[in-house]
Amino acid sequence: MSALVLDGSATLAWCFKDEQSDKTEKLRHEVRARGAIVPRLWRLEVTNVLVNAERRGRMAPATTASLLGLLGEMPIIIDDETDRRAFGDTLHLARAHDLSTYDAAYLELAMRRALPLATLDRELARAAKRTGVPLPLGRV
């Protein structure tokens, strides 16, 4: 059983020293121990940020490969239903909370699975709070 929904912003904090904190390290240990669930877009989102970091000279390709290897070893489950909900529940949440559909997918998953949402994205955290979704990283 997954302990929480993990979004890209929380995941990526593990990848950049200047974004790490005691809270994000505690989250990383929790995910290692108890697992997480993510929408299918999570891998693309995380990989996109890392390849853009390479392009800006912030990260070497070998570092990206190492980080992706470490993430691949974590007990992170890809949700199979996210895509089917895009034209309905996810669209509704995006409109209702002024979110991108990408961010709304994380919120929809957390609501559907009745799980906390780990995010560092302010707008997504506000929407989670408004809908009663717990935030293990607290306010951002």
pTM: 0.93
Q: Parse the chain into domains and list their residue ranges.
A: 5-131
Average pLDDT, the chain: 95
The 10s digit of each residue's pLDDT in 3-17 is 999 999 999 999 999
Residue 138's pLDDT band (boundaries 50, 70, 90)?
confident
Where are the extended beta strands (E) located within the chain? Answer: 5-6, 36-38, 76-78, 117-118
Q: Provide the pLDDT for residue 131.
A: 97
CATH topology (fold) of 5-131: Rossmann fold (3.40.50)
What Rg value do the Cα atoms of the chain yield, rounded?
14
Please give the share of the chain, as a percent, with pLDDT higher than 70.
98
Average pLDDT over residues 45-67: 96
Q: Provide the pLDDT for residue 140.
A: 55
Residue 1's pLDDT band (boundaries 50, 70, 90)?
low
Average pLDDT over residues 98-109: 98
CA dist 62 and 103 (Å) reads 29
Asked whether the beta carbons of 78 and 36 are under 8 A apart, the reply is: no
The 10s digit of each residue's pLDDT in 78-93 is 999 999 999 999 999 9
Indicate if the alpha-carbon torsion angle 115, 119, 25, 43 is positive or negative.
Answer: positive
Average pLDDT over residues 86-105: 97
Nearest to 45 by CA among 81, 75, 19, 15: 15
Higher local confidence (pLDDT), 138 or 113: 113
